[in-house]
Structure 1
Amino acid sequence: MRLLHTMLRVGNLEKSIAFYTEVLGMKLLRQKEYPQGEFTLAFLGYGNEDENTVLELTYNWGVESYDLGNAYGHIAIEVADVYKAAEMVKAGGGKIIREAGPMNAGTTIIAFAEDPDGYQIEFIGENHVRK
């Protein structure tokens, strides 16, 4: 078994694709419309789907926003430099909701951004300890 993708429902597919590609540097891997179901799927990631876990953006035609609820947490992206990643998001017009710095219960450097639909993205350094 392996983890294939995480799906997020988005209210504006073009805006979300632009954020994940232009601000976070992912590639649009594939996109397909399903007229009978009135939705469009877009798959994005940092590598091909055969070897990497990717992000699936689902746009349900005519739905512009969703209640994110209180159970969802965040997407985590490993980066070489958390401070530079946060600055890159700001320079690209993205929103940083927690500036880069040590997490409140340890020394791992993290930052949080928010995508156009309000989903949180954590940046965590390459040198974090996996337990």
Structure 2
Amino acid sequence: MNQELVEICLRVRDLEATLDFYTNLFDFEVASRREFPENKFDLIYLNSPGSSVQIELTYNYDAEPYTIGDGFSHLGVTVDDLEKMHEICKDSDYKTSELKGLSGGTPSYFFVTDPDGYRIEVKRKK
């Protein structure tokens, strides 16, 4: 059986801040937006250039703060210029780790946290 990962859903509290994070800090594009005011939620689908996997942002109008489970760790993206992206993230208002390398090796990744507390691992494209 052939399978393909097509989307990852994140529940968000501040839709505009989250859209700003993914579309301005990163190069995600809004692929579609579906509003369901009668059910009090919106779905926004984001595309990342070069990937077929979408991020589905689910915005529930009256939701209490979400608890990110301890089994969830992070999403991962790759970039051509890790050091430049690291500087962009550090200059933003988002929590950004230092550059890191596995087992003390050459730095190859860092983490940045989105407005809802989801961590994004930014890795050097191989």
Whether the TM-score (by the shorter chain) exceeds 0.5 is yes
Note the alpha carbon deviations across 1:79-111, whole angstroms, 9 max, x for none: 112222121122343220x21121247556110
Larger fraction in strand: 1
In structure 2, do the counterparts of structure 1 residues 117 and 106 end up closer, same or farther at CA, with 3 Å as the change threshold? same
Partner of 1:117: 116
Note the residue ranges of structure 2 that are not aligned, 5 or more in a row.
none
Alpha-carbon contact 2:99-2:107 (below 8 Å) kept: no
Alpha-carbon contact 1:94-1:114 (below 8 Å) kept: yes
Note the alpha carbon deviations across 1:14-52, whole angstroms, 9 max, x for none: 11001100111211111111123211011112249xx61
Runs of 4+ in 1 over 4 A off after TM superposition: 105-108
Calculate the aligned-residue CA RMSD, in Å.
1.9
Greater mean deviation of Cα atoms: 98-107 or 34-43: 98-107
Task: Please tell me whether residue 70 in structure 1 is matched to residue 70 in structure 2.
Answer: yes
Partner of 1:11: 13
Give the secondary-structure state (helix, strand or coil) at the position aligned to 2:84: helix
Alignment counterpart, residue 31 of structure 1, candidates 30, 33, 36: 33
In structure 2, do the counterparts of structure 1 residues 65 and 80 end up closer, same or farther at CA, with 3 Å as the change threshold? same
Note the residue ranges of structure 1 that are not aligned, 5 or more in a row.
none
Question: What is the letter of the counterpart of residue 25 of structure 1?
Answer: D
Task: Please tell me whether residue 85 in structure 1 is matched to residue 82 in structure 2.
Answer: no
Question: What is the letter of the counterpart of residue 57 of structure 1?
Answer: L
Partner of 2:98: 99
Alpha-carbon contact 1:110-1:122 (below 8 Å) kept: yes
Aligned residues between the structures? 124
Identity rate of aligned residues, in percent? Answer: 32
Partner of 1:46: 48
Normalised to the residue count of structure 2, the TM-score between the two structures is 0.88
